[in-house]
Structure formats: structure tokens, C-alpha cells
Amino acid sequence: MNDIALVTGASAGIGRGTAELLLKNGYTVYAGARRVERMKDLQALGAKILALDVTEETSLTVAVDRIYKEEGRLDVLINNAGYGAHGAVEDVPIAEARRQFEVNVFGLARLTQLALPHMRAAGRGTIVNISSIAGKLTVPAGGWYHASKHAVEAYSDALRLEVAQFGIKVILIEPGPIKTEWDNTALVNLQKYSGSGPYGPMVKRINERFRSSYRSGAPGPEAVARVILKALRSRRPAARYPVPFRASLTLLLKWLIPDRLLDFAIRTILKI
């Protein structure tokens, strides 16, 4: 019996890569995203396409209702939809900060709420939340994005403890540097909100370092997809999966280095 999986944010990046890999490994995949036209190739591979906006209640309920009407169950929910509203915390409009949380946190949480009653009734299910090492390590001009990923980390920890009694697994995936379209969105927002004004010089240096070295040698989204598949196949998955290896190393250094020293290092690198 093939597992039924819903992947959000499937029109690009990690979501697309995950949908493709799950299809190749026998899963029945419902691929959800706002940009439906960008998922035609996934449909050709066998995915079932959903117009899905995680910030819209009707969109969420219609998607879940369709899956249960057609399949009778949902075995795997992969909450991947998200984006980065980068810019200095002083500059990013509060409305934009709220939207960041609506997409990255509340959309994820509401979709999970809709799926959980059915998973509890089945006595099984797996929820995979795509977080980031940004949920544990914060750098300048990314405060609102980092805050949203911190929230996903805490939310997932609580959820994992609550639903284990019902046979439901909760897994956090913590990507580090990955080559996706996410970069362009983050950098566009960064320039839009803080490219000029008092934080302009800092933003210029962040842009330079980001483009020249941060993604150097970074793998593509398929690396994250493989880790997700590994976690889904595990009888006893870990609570967290940093990916790639350099993400694990970054988190280890964050744990070892005192905050004051880490602040000094970041400020020295960015000359702030």
C-alpha cells in the first residue's frame, strides 16, 4: 500500500525536489503551491496538483478535504512552504513581519491541525516540518525570518511530545546552505527594506559575502529530499535532521562558542 503524502511549497526548491523523490519511490503525492502552473511537470510525473495558499483557510480545508475524499487517509504531511522577509528588524514593516509568520508558522500549524484528527483516527502518520539552522543561529538582517524558524522549532518540539501517544511522528528538517530560489527572494527583500539608509553599508557587505561564499559548494534541494526520505523510512526517526554536514558543524559551533564571542565574530566579518 503506497503512502499518501502532501507536500506544500512544491512549485520550487526543496518542495519540488521532495515531491519528485517521493514519486520515484512509490508514494502517492499531492503537490500543493500557489503557482500551480509551475507544477505541470510534477503532474506529468504522476503528482496530484493542488492550488494551495497556506495563509488562506478555505484553501487549506479544500486541499485536505480533497485528499481524504479521494484517498481516505493522509500518511505524510510535509510542511515546506515558506519564504524569507529579510531586512533589518527596524526596517521591515510589521505587516510584512506578520505575513512571514502567517506563512512560515501559522499556515504550517493550521494545516497540521486539519490533518491531525484523521491521523489520530488511523493511529499513525508522520509530520515533517521544514525548519532551518536559522532557527538556532541568528545573523543580522534576518531577524524576522530567524524568529519564524525559532517558532517552528519550539512548535514542533511540543507537537512531537503531544502526538507520540497516538502513533504520530514529528520530524524537523534543518537545512543549512542550499541552492534554491529562496536566495533570490531573501536578497530582493533585503535590498528592498534595508538597501539604503543607516543599514545600507551592512546590507552591501552581507550581499557580497552571501553571493561570493555562503552558497559556495552548497548542494541542491535533492540533498534535503534524500534526508526527508531517509527519515520517513526510519522506524525510529530522529527529532531533527540538519542537512548538509556543514549545517551540523555550524550548529555544533553555535553550541560550543559563547554568545559574546559569536557576536564579535559576526560583527568583525560584517564590519558592524
Query: Domain containing 143 — which CATH number?
Result: 3.40.50.720
Query: The dihedral of CA 219, 77, 33, 70: what is its sign?
Result: positive
The Cβ of residue 211 has, within 10 Å, a number of other Cβ atoms equal to 12
196 — alpha (psi -120 to 50), left (phi > 0) or beta? beta
What would the pLDDT profile of 110-144 be if each residue is shown by its tens digit? 999 999 999 999 999 999 999 999 999 999 999 99
Range of the domain at 138: 4-270
Distance CA 231, CA 228 (A): 5
Dihedral of CA 14/178/168/148: which sign?
negative
DSSP for residue 93 = -
pLDDT, average across residues 65-83: 96
Taking 70 as the threshold, does the pLDDT of residue 182 lie above it? no
**77, HSE (Cβ side, Cα atoms, 13 Å):** 28
Task: Name the average pLDDT for the chain.
Answer: 93
Catalytic annotation, pick one of 27, 145, 155, 199: 145
- pLDDT on residue 42: 96
Least confident window among 189-193, 216-220, 232-236, 266-270? 216-220
162 has a pLDDT exceeding 90: yes
Mean pLDDT of 152-164: 98
Quickly state the pLDDT bin for 178 (edges 50, 70, 90).
confident
Q: How many CB atoms lie within 10 A of CB 79?
A: 27
| 151 pLDDT higher than 90 | yes
Listing DSSP states for 144-191 in one string gives HHHHHHHHHHHHHHHHHHHHGGGTEEEEEEEE-S--STHHHHHHHHHH
pTM over 0.85: yes
193 catalytic residue (yes or no): no
The answer on pLDDT for 194 being more than 80 is yes
Number of domains in the chain: 1
